[in-house]
Chains A and B, each alone.
Chain A
C-alpha cells in the first residue's frame, strides 16, 4: 500500500506570495490533517478534513486554508506569505475515526524569503 505523499517536497517563495501544497492520503483513508512544524513552536495542528468537510481547526490565521476533494486528496493554501510561515508542513491521513492511527507524509519544506 502506498504511503502518504506530499508535493512539492521543497518550495521557496517570497513574502506576500501565496502557495498551495498538496497531500494524497493512503488509499481508503478519508481523514487528512495538516500540521506546521517549526523549531520554535514544534508540531502544531492546522486543520483536519473528513469527507470534503473541515472537521477541526487549529489556532492559525485565516491566511491558512485548505480543502479536500472527493478522492480524499487535500490541498493547503497560504496567502500573503510571511517570513514566519517558513516551516515543514506535514499532512497525515487516517481512516477517520478519532482513535484511528495517523500516518504522516514526508512533508513540504517551505522557505519564505
Chain B
C-alpha cells in the first residue's frame, strides 16, 4: 500500500520566518492534497496538486509537486501564529480509489 512520509514531524518557528514541510510517497503520486487541522477538529482543504511540476498558492502558503521524486513540499512565507496547526498531506491511490495520509507535521509559531 502507498505510504506517505512527512518531515519534519514537528516544527517550531518564530513569527515572520519561512518554513518548508515535505511529503514523500513510497509509490507513484497521481494526486496530492494538503490539509491543515487544528487539534481535534476537521481538516481544512488547502490545495490539490495533480501534475508534475505543478505549483499552487493559497495566501502565503505555496505547494509544489515533484513527480519524479514522488514528493511534494509546502512552503509558508512570513509565518504567523494563525498558521499554527497540523499539516497533513494526502495522496489519492487510483488503484484502490482511496486516499492515504501522512502522519502530519505539527507547526508552532511563536509570536
Contacts and interface: CB of A to CB of B under 8 A. Distances in A.
B52 to A, nearest CB: 14
Nearest to B97: A56
Given A55-B97, A98-B94, A104 B42 contact: yes
Classify chain A's interface size: 20 to 34
B100 A45 contact: yes
A56 B100 CA distance: 13
Contact of A58 (B45, B94, B98): B98
Interface in B11-46: 30-31, 33, 35, 40-45
Contacts of B97: 48, 55-56, 98
Given A42-B101, A45-B98, A101 B33 contact: yes
A72 interface: no
Interface residues of B, number: 25
Find the residue from A33, A44, A104, A109 having the highest chain B CB count within 10 A.
Answer: A104
Find the residue from B50, B92, B98 having the highest chain A CB count within 10 A.
Answer: B98
A102 interface: yes
Contacts of A102: 33, 45, 90, 99
Nearest to A4: B42
A42 B45 contact: no
Given A42-B103, A101-B33, A88 B98 contact: no
B88 interface: yes
Contact of B31 (A33, A44, A58, A99): A99
A104 B45 contact: yes
A34 to B, nearest CB: 11
Interface of A: 4, 6, 33, 35, 42-45, 48, 55-56, 58, 88, 90, 92, 98-99, 101-107, 109
